[in-house]
A and B are shown apart, each in its own frame.
Chain A
């Protein structure tokens, strides 16, 4: 893609170097800790699953027992390994031996715990590799997908009804299906279990729901002659656990933002950033494309004023993603078409923002989000805003296009709302196919000037954040005008200081593979 905005490569490089120093600070501050969610994830990767008679997930029981026995700081793997070396038949029995505080306190560290656990670690890694290879094989068996990928949401609350809607959307042309999560799941400190048929504003993310939707989309792959990507959320208090489930059930995209939970769900900053890193390592290994959430800044704040913050956050998200082992093609940075449609030249600012993102992150599968804030219930006007959004998407070479619904702000999408959106985006994608190749911008025009202004603004924000550190910047309200101190917020009680001999065998394996030759 030819750069058209004349953005200074030096300034972009400087933004990246500032983001590097922000990420370095995050690593320093988070490295001394693990979290209950991270340890539950280790258990899941080792094969621990299921719930007790009161629907409490086994990983939660084990981690709670280890925590109350004061043993979590070594890492859950040490104790599963010790239970195995001490005679437990399998991982399930080892977990059972650790699932109440009394027994968790009585298991001794076994000198051969590493040997005992090694095959289970390898089995977990292999399970992820197998699902990844399966995706790669399926994708390779079809022609290359037309871009931008059309991304549709389903949100009925009932996984079985979601399947009906998802298949209809896929047949109509949707290339990615996101199952919207039930509201408030991000604040649950456990992952519900099994298939679910009731939820509010969405469907619970459970491993069984993932499996059901994956199977449904696979079942129409031959009929459609293309692979349909499945999307869910690695976010909230169970960020890494859901990333693990996504890896096991071959999800293709996962929403995974470094700051979203902190700013918009008041989850403790340390907790989020520790969990974020481990979840992204899992995403990296699984070959998942992450979708970051910068669009959310614009739903609460003004899109024109906040544009530099969006870009600054993209630089930070990119760096944190790379530090977790994600490659450029896996970093789906988010942004949104949220400028007030009444604003004179608002469309020009949208084009400036979208084109800048494309030029600054040329290899990232950018995810472009539709208007939501200025959707008023006037469905006709909404459809028109969505058309401008789709045109901007094609004109600036976006990669993933989240379809806007004309009934946004009214209700979860009806079957025909989604069809109208797919039809609109397909028509515009075809009708304006080579527009991006033809477009040039006036060198001193409004679009170019705006792009330069936003980049300069982002550089300033990054200087501030790098200067005071991300945690301090969060507590000062640099992002979305929301203040989030390091010692406040949900889930702080699940942050545990690591013992000097802390071990997480999966983190070890993935850190090793990063420093070695590329896979």
Chain B
């Protein structure tokens, strides 16, 4: 049951819940350090019965949680039962072995970003935004682009330093490439909302391939955002950065400022 440590160094087997975990090891926290308290909820495709409840317990035990306590076993359909289960996770995680990071961006206000763009570039930076191919949703794009912005933070259209061009949803990758060329874009923001069957990964990859094939990839900063996007995934797909849910426009703006600055000498050579 403890043989769950497939993730390599950093996640130790943590023999029992009594001991304090090693240096850097961190465990889930309920109401005291190292209690490992965890809540999970899930549905099993089984009619509610004593067998179903026991199955839920065993399922949770296999997940590495001890002392499973089933607090809800609700028959939500004739052959389905919904469970909420509390338990204690045996595992700990070594923080010092984790390399993951968010896209680095300085903490700057809109005025500071505008002033820096004027100082460093002496022109407005052209930023294209789009959702690709079959993705018809603009909610993420609008949060970053529209004047109104998101969570009290104004969108890129409000900045003097950006010429923000929102291409909308369902933009074919070839069209993005064309606009990069014709608009001499400095950056492209791709918003991915529809993620069923990993369709977003496919479309995001197609865009990188298209830009590379046309020799445009090095000319633009390429950023992805969306509910199921993070920095690591974006980088893996060949993007410069990825931003997950809750990202404010000013954070994207600050990243654009720094990344375009960093690349500019090379791009204009």
Contacts and interface: CB of A to CB of B under 8 A. Distances in A.
A373 interface: yes
B170 interface: yes
Interface residues of B, number: 29
B199 A302 contact: no
Given A183-B134, A184-B134, A300-B138, A377 B76 contact: no
A376 B244 CA distance: 11
A224 interface: no
A73 interface: no
A92 interface: no
Contacts of A301: 146, 148
Contacts of A266: 168
Residues of B contacting A: mostly: loop
Interface in B231-269: 245-246
B170 A187 contact: yes
B173 to A, nearest CB: 14
Interface stretch (B7-15, B176-184, B189-197): B189-197
A242 B166 CA distance: 31
Nearest to A198: B197
Contacts of B41: 416
A172 B76 contact: yes
A107 interface: no
A513 to B, nearest CB: 36
A125 interface: no
A518 B227 CA distance: 51
A441 interface: no
Nearest to B78: A171
A198 B197 CA distance: 10
Q: Which of B76, B78, B194 has the most CB of A within 10 A?
A: B76
A184 B136 contact: yes
A200 B245 contact: no
Given A201-B194, A300-B142, A183 B245 contact: no
Contacts of B82: 415-416, 419
A130 interface: no
Interface stretch (A143-151, A404-412, A495-503): A404-412
Contact of B245 (A168, A299, A373, A377): A377
Contact of B139 (A182, A299, A414, A415): A299
Q: Which of B78, B195, B196 has the most CB of A within 10 A?
A: B196
A170 B137 CA distance: 28
Contact of B196 (A157, A300, A415, A416): A157
A415 B227 contact: no
Interface of B: 41-43, 74, 76-78, 80, 82, 133-139, 142, 146, 148, 168, 170, 194-197, 199, 227, 245-246
21 contacts: A157-B197, A167-B77, A168-B77, A168-B80, A172-B77, A182-B134, A183-B134, A184-B134, A187-B170, A200-B196, A265-B170, A300-B139, A300-B142, A301-B146, A373-B139, A376-B245, A409-B139, A415-B80, A415-B82, A416-B43, A419-B82
Interface of A: 157, 167-168, 171-172, 182-184, 186-187, 198, 200-201, 265-266, 299-302, 372-373, 376-377, 409-412, 414-416, 419
Sort A-B residue pairs by CB-CB distance and give the 8 closest, nearest first.
A168-B77, A419-B76, A184-B134, A416-B82, A201-B194, A183-B136, A377-B245, A416-B43
Given A182-B134, A409-B227, 10 more contacts: A167-B77, A168-B80, A172-B76, A372-B139, A377-B245, A411-B195, A412-B196, A414-B43, A415-B77, A419-B82
